[in-house]
Structure 1
């Protein structure tokens, strides 16, 4: 790893959402998504699977709906450790909610749904890395095909998300692709792992298919504000050395960096908060 990129041990951490009704949202994430552990306090709810924090819900009953023109979350992708857990997820959604989509992405298999306040969710599992298709330069070739739903039949709708579940990636709707891509690649240090025409980019640290995705498919033109939806997300680097290198790189690209306790706080070009922490 050079100092101009994030190390391969980098992963995604918790995603923070502003919500109107934290009780309703907690019930959804327990019942439909299968989050087993919820910690409450100070108008917030922290949703965990094992020791891994997936989401932090911040209650603001007065927050307006996200404008159709505003940047923000396309979906948060919760990764389960195996197909059995994905089959359980499918059974829960079919029993309690409505599935909005499903896809075979070659490197992974995914289910899609939307929570009661309009936040997109992907529930997915990865195929073994040796099965991931690659293009000539070695990057992962992410495709989209119908998911074999019959092979996921028979899951347990009462099963919760197991240990080993985490946030695999975050997919953002951005207002303009080029400055966002420059921020996350040149300044923060992700690598471009794939592109989709001119309207999207897939980014990763190390050899993962993607930790972050950016798209302009829905024509968002404004930054985030104090509306419902995405507040920010965590990028978790492996150690203090990687944290220091990240800070130097950000400052070298004239990104305003705020040190808060054990993490760095920055904002992307659309005002989405990013915390860089270790773990």
Structure 2
């Protein structure tokens, strides 16, 4: 979990837009296992430890369904503390009849599903970083079927799924973008990440402090795709947590030198990547 605390730069929070807040709250509480930290008539901040929020839901006015062939959210990824937690939620999903996909990425083991609005969700655990294979500054990752039966063998006797464990964090975010060259420059030269894996000229995986990825981007929705409507289901924004004011200011200065706009609201600096994805820069 050291990849999701200072001094590493990491994704601390994700805000998504939904069509029906009540329906979404029910899903994220009963299926995924979050608790409500705060809520209003149009939004809810969700928590695993009762103190901090890693995911927020918002129902925009005149909301429209998720739009295809646009930039925006591919999935947000929830990182569980223990492999046994992943095994427990597999059993939980099976008991509730929830459909999900499951993959082994060498660096991690992951489940994939969608919320009621089609927002993509990954739930995963990392393998020990000592077992990650680095070749010429790139970490080896792939997608192969997850050995579910082997995973279930790590369940602790008498233990069952009782919601997201307290040590759960937002592990990473994966985005649809309209192109890769300017996007790489924005995240690397601007925000300060390193490219740690290039996938077939179609996707980039980027991180700080040699994590397998804090942010990934792909062009699988097509090159040159537009950003979605402001009131459509999907990504509202995600928050990057910097180690201190100095490091954040370095990123802000770098972004402005590149011509990217950075605005400030209540000591939160807001910027947009070249595809229109909104990013909040926090400390």
Q: What is the TM-score normalised by the length of structure 1?
A: 0.92
1:197 deviation in Å? 0.4
Ranges in structure 2 where 5+ consecutive residues have no aligned partner: 1-5
Partner of 1:260: 265
Partner of 2:211: 208
Does the alignment pair 1:86 with 2:89?
Answer: no
Partner of 1:3: none
| Alpha carbons 1:18, 1:58 under 8 Å: kept | yes
Ranges in structure 1 where 5+ consecutive residues have no aligned partner: 1-6
| Alpha carbons 1:8, 1:207 under 8 Å: kept | no
User: Deviation above 3 Å: which 4+ runs of structure 1?
Assistant: 154-158
| Alpha carbons 1:192, 1:201 under 8 Å: kept | yes
CA distance in 2, matches of 1:45, 1:97: 26
- Which of 237, 246, 249 does residue 244 from structure 1 map onto? 249
- Cα displacement string for residues 116-163 of structure 1 (whole angstroms, at most 9, x for unaligned residues): 00001000011111111221x243211222111012327555411111
Q: What's the C-alpha RMSD, in Å, of the aligned pairs?
A: 1.7
CA distance in 1, matches of 2:258, 2:221: 29
1:203 deviation in Å? 0.6
| Alpha carbons 2:78, 2:122 under 8 Å: kept | yes
Partner of 1:34: 33
Does the alignment pair 1:273 with 2:278?
Answer: yes
Query: What is the DSSP-based 3-state SS (H/G/I as helix, E as strand, rest coil) of the residue aligned with 2:23?
Result: helix
Q: How many residues align?
A: 271
Partner of 2:233: 228
TM alignment of 1:176-187, pairs within 5 A: 176-187=179-190
Q: What is the TM-score normalised by the length of structure 2?
A: 0.90
Greater Cα offset, 52-61 or 193-202: 52-61
Does the alignment pair 1:44 with 2:49?
Answer: no
Query: What is the DSSP-based 3-state SS (H/G/I as helix, E as strand, rest coil) of the residue aligned with 1:202?
Result: strand
1:187 deviation in Å? 1.6
CA distance in 1, matches of 2:31, 2:75: 16
Greater Cα offset, 90-99 or 111-120: 90-99
TM alignment of 1:1-279, pairs within 5 A: 9-50=8-49, 51-60=51-60, 62-135=62-135, 137-153=136-152, 158-219=161-222, 221-226=225-230, 227-278=232-283
CA distance in 2, matches of 1:113, 1:197: 24
